[in-house]
Chain A
Amino acid sequence: MAQISISDSHNAAGGGRERGALASVAAWIAIAALCAAAAPARAAVQADAAPTGLKVTDELGRTIVVPQPVRRIVSLAPNLTETVYALDAGDLLVGDTNVDDFPAAAKTLPHVGAVLAPSLEQIVALHPDLVLATNDLNRRATVDALAGLGLAVYVTDPLSIDDVLASTARIARLIGAGDRGDAAVADMRARLNALAERLADVPPRRVLFVVWTEPLISIGKRTFLNDALNRAGAQSVVEIDDGWPQISFEYALKLQPEYLVFAGSLAEANAPAADELSKLPGWRDLNAVRDGKIVIVSDAIDRPGPRMVDAIEELAHLLHPDAFAPGAPAGGSRLVTPDNREEARTACAR
């Protein structure tokens, strides 16, 4: 049966086959023509965007021209949103991402989507003079697509605290807030210097910064977070250079860190109460878990922005209580002991 119908249709073929192919080809050519017709539009836009502005090189080495003065900013990362607010330029922000939660005003700005997958057309519709992005959170594809549409996209790439300070000063100059930027940077630097002086004679605590518990993921040496730990008088026990290494428990056991450090938002996801960890195989063999030396630091430490110095100071106070006068700043950071773990957890969740 099948044989017959197939050879039937085989004979009927001829014209039908070619006609079908023609129709299909014609359809594609029509679509291609539509596509080609749209191409001149782009050239025109780029010509519009060319007028005088500030020509700068961003932290990825891309050359961009930022229209001056900057009146409308879209921020694609929470730390950059915070930075703009800290520069008293919050009124210039016209859009941010879904996760931008600090300060409170950031939550009510028009959102352009998630950090990894924002809506390009939503960004375009906000008419930004400047789009701020980070190399760490945003995708390069997003940056390139926006630049292709003629928008000025400044990408930050801080790998250390000094980078963050420099980045803050540069963004401040771009948006016409150079003086405020210099003042903010000078203030942060003064606080960091005071902290460094205070901790000069104290040996650093050997800590394991826990990004994720299953699998155990910590931080590499060449990260912003590692620098933040160092300035808080801590030293990461993980001797791996880049990024976010996944490490084996054996390795952690061999290193025996003095303290485990969790960041607030991560701690909330992980619920690393000392009591619970002490029941888990592997974890319970860590001296830090046995001794209840678990620190939850405000998640601002994970944000290369204005609040990072607060978090660094808080961490320093928790790790080196003897080096400071009593009544230290607690902020969102605390030491978890079996007695206060519920309280600590709700504090993180807040």
Chain B
Amino acid sequence: MRPLTMRRVVWTCTLLAGVLFAVSVMALKLGAVPISVSDLVVSLGRLAIGRTDQLPLDYRLIVFDLRLPRIVLGALVGAALSVAGAGFQALLRNPLADPYVLGVSSGSALGAVLALQFLPQIALATPLGAFVGAILTITGVYFLGRREGHLDSTTLLLAGIISASFLSAIIMFLMTTLTSRDVRGMAFWLMGDLSTPLVPSLRWFFLVALLVGIGAIYTTSPDLNLLVTGEREAMHLGVDVTRVKLVVYVAASGLTALAVSASGAIGYVGLLVPHAMRFLFGSDYRLLIPASALGGAIAVVLADTLARTIIAPTELPVGAMTAIAGAPLFIFLLRRSMR
């Protein structure tokens, strides 16, 4: 393995940021309503000099009120899911771990279903219920996953998987009691859907919380490099294993909770992107975490652009897109890395 240099980190991140920018501009241009490149450049130019009021109303609404927030939300959700996935893969020392393996998505889905059932008049019922459900699940799994006062990877994994299936069973039960329109809405949400824009008042909270979560996992990345070789070895090399595990658990779960509350359970991104980044750039977590953040953002923005355009004007849930593209890609990576 090539040693990681700061130059490589900077170059890789710059490259990925460039790709993300290109993908985002493409996503701004593509959509059910055609918008020419020249118009897009003009409107982006006006945006850059702060003259959005000079834009035609259509462009303001379509490009800046519909597409841009959706792209930003997709990028943030993708980054959160990928970093959470990378974190869980290290924490559980399991390559199959993804952000949902510990039951966060089931917990938030249950929260959302309950909120829909009992507080349907509240406008933010789904995201708030989802967030509360996720936080409760995270807390519950944390206490179930401890052994002798410390988080134990195997116990945590088992506790998470059991909690997830238990919560899913409750969801199945509740779904049969929901009215048809709520079931259809829920099904859409469960697949992962970015068509609902984030409420403006929550945008800054969301952004800051995501950056804090990603940053927290990033600070543990040198320790994660050692942790993946084994807990005992890491401890001998001076890693505070208990603290690192706690930080990664809380941060990765928190990121997942935020992502799921905003957009439902978008599958495969958190599993696939860290593996793809490992395949491309090596498994050093100091590079893997920022690369996963950017790679996840690229993946979700790309998938959502396809979801919006592939059978336009009908929109697919982005989760359907990531699952369709994700499974074959995962097999491909697996075959390649086995050679």
Residues of A bordering B, CB below 8 Å: 1-3, 5-10, 12-17, 19-21, 23-25, 27-28, 31-32, 34-35, 37-42, 44-45, 48, 98, 111-114, 116-122, 124-125, 135-137, 139-142, 144-145, 148-150, 242-244, 246
Contacts and interface: CB of A to CB of B under 8 A. Distances in A.
Contacts of B312: 113, 119, 122
Given A12-B3, A32-B207, A20 B33 contact: no
A25 B211 contact: yes
Given A9-B3, A24-B13, A139-B184, A122 B203 contact: no
Contacts of A136: 180-181
Contact of B47 (A6, A37, A121, A135): A37
Contacts of A5: 1-3
- What is the interface residue range for chain B against chain A? 35 or more
Interface of B: 1-10, 13-14, 17, 20, 24, 31-33, 47, 50, 52-53, 55, 57-58, 60-62, 64-69, 72, 75-76, 79, 123, 126, 176, 178-181, 184-185, 188, 195-197, 200, 203, 207, 211, 214-215, 218, 221-222, 225-226, 229, 233, 237, 284, 286-287, 290, 293-294, 308, 312-317
B84 to A, nearest CB: 15
B211 A28 contact: yes
Contacts of A113: 32, 312-315
B33 A122 contact: yes
Of A10, A41, A114, A244, chain B has the most CB atoms within 10 Å of the CB of A41
Contact of A117 (B7, B53, B315): B315
A125 B225 contact: no
Given A27-B20, A117-B195, A41 B65 contact: yes
A5 to B, nearest CB: 4
Nearest to B309: A119
A42 B65 contact: yes
B314 A118 contact: yes
Interface of B, helix, strand, loop or mixed by DSSP: helix
Given A37-B50, A112-B313, A117-B195, A24 B222 contact: no
Nearest to A151: B61
B9 A6 contact: no
Contact of B185 (A17, A34, A111, A139): A139
A20 B286 contact: yes
Contact of B229 (A2, A12, A17, A25): A2
Contact of B222 (A10, A114, A140): A10
Contact of B284 (A6, A120, A139): A6
A281 to B, nearest CB: 23
A35 B207 CA distance: 11
Nearest to A32: B207
A111 to B, nearest CB: 6
Q: Which 7 A-B pairs have the closest CB atoms?
A: A16-B6, A119-B313, A113-B313, A119-B32, A113-B314, A20-B9, A243-B179
Contact of B218 (A21, A44, A135): A21
B17 A27 contact: yes
Contacts of A125: 32-33, 58, 62
6 contacts: A7-B237, A10-B226, A24-B17, A39-B200, A119-B31, A136-B180
Nearest to A123: B313
